[in-house]
């Protein structure tokens, strides 16, 4: 049976976040170097973006490059940056055709100028699209993001624009990179790892987690639909009891 037909269209997560893990291991299993796995992983990105459009997921955040990834071998980092530029350039017409809006979060200024330029051009070209918003987390660290939010709030207090007694969670959220987007309801991580690796620590507070042993280059539409169905079979209580949920 087609898994997509089993999905309840009335219970689709508005925002899905994915840690795309396993490209290097996939490449090793196929006797190739790590960058080959990253190239193949692009095909999975294309499929999952399409899948989101097909079932009605409005926001998709992909952990594409973490702050910690800068510590990888220089050859791999350079190859990843080249792949990022070429992929964005190549995929922008298709994203635009399918109504996908591209956005980015993270320390974008730390990326090479060629990456920043290509990224901004694609963001501008797709800015009016509204089928799916694809958010790339690039040179991203959730702790870095939260520290920056705290610094901004502290600055407002120093300037007398805000009292410490007035600070709420809303002030944190307003100063996060993700302030334009709703929090994810579902977080997926591939490759068998069971951690969130400094990814959206604040935003994932009430998200459902889905871990799979599938390596990212093998994670295609059917695997994504399995994650959606798993999400739909869970009871999201937000601190309430099952009885309270059933009567609301």
Known catalytic residues are 21, 69
Given phi > 0 = left and psi -120 to 50 = alpha, else beta, which region is 111? beta
Given phi > 0 = left and psi -120 to 50 = alpha, else beta, which region is 213? alpha
8 A C-beta contact, residue 7 and residue 201: no
Given phi > 0 = left and psi -120 to 50 = alpha, else beta, which region is 48? alpha
Of all helices (H) and strands (E), which one includes residue 102? strand 100-105
Q: What angle is formed at CA 12 by the lines to CA 8 and CA 17, rounded to 5 degrees?
A: 140
Give CA–CA dist 61/184, Å, rounded: 8
Phi, psi (degrees; rounded to nearest 5) at 107? -85, 70
Q: Tokens 């080249």 map to which residue?
A: 82
| Contact residues for 2 (Cβ-Cβ < 8 A; gap 6+) | none
């Amino acid at each position: 049976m087609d898994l997509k037909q089993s999905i309840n269209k009335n219970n689709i997560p508005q925002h899905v976040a994915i840690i795309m893990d396993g490209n290097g291991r996939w490449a090793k299993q196929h006797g190739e170097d790590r960058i080959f796995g990253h190239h193949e992983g692009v095909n999975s990105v294309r499929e999952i973006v399409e899948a989101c459009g097909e079932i009605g997921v409005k926001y998709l955040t992909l952990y594409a490059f973490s702050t910690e990834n800068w510590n990888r071998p220089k050859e791999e980092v350079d190859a990843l940056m080249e792949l990022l530029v070429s992929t964005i350039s190549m995929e922008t017409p298709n994203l635009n055709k399918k109504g996908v809006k591209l956005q980015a979060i993270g320390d974008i200024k730390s990326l090479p100028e060629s990456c920043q330029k290509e990224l901004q051009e694609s963001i501008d070209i797709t800015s009016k699209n509204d089928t799916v918003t694809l958010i790339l987390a690039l040179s991203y660290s959730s702790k870095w993001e939260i520290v920056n939010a705290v610094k901004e709030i502290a600055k407002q207090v120093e300037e007398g624009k805000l009292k410490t007694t007035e600070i709420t969670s809303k002030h944190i959220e307003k100063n996060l990179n993700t302030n334009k987007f709703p929090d994810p309801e579902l977080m997926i991580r591939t490759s068998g790892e069971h951690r969130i690796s400094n990814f959206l620590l604040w935003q994932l507070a009430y998200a459902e987690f889905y871990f799979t042993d599938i390596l990212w280059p093998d994670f295609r539409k059917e695997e994504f639909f399995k994650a959606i169905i798993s999400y739909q079979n869970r009871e999201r209580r937000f601190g309430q009891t099952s009885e309270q949920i059933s009567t609301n």
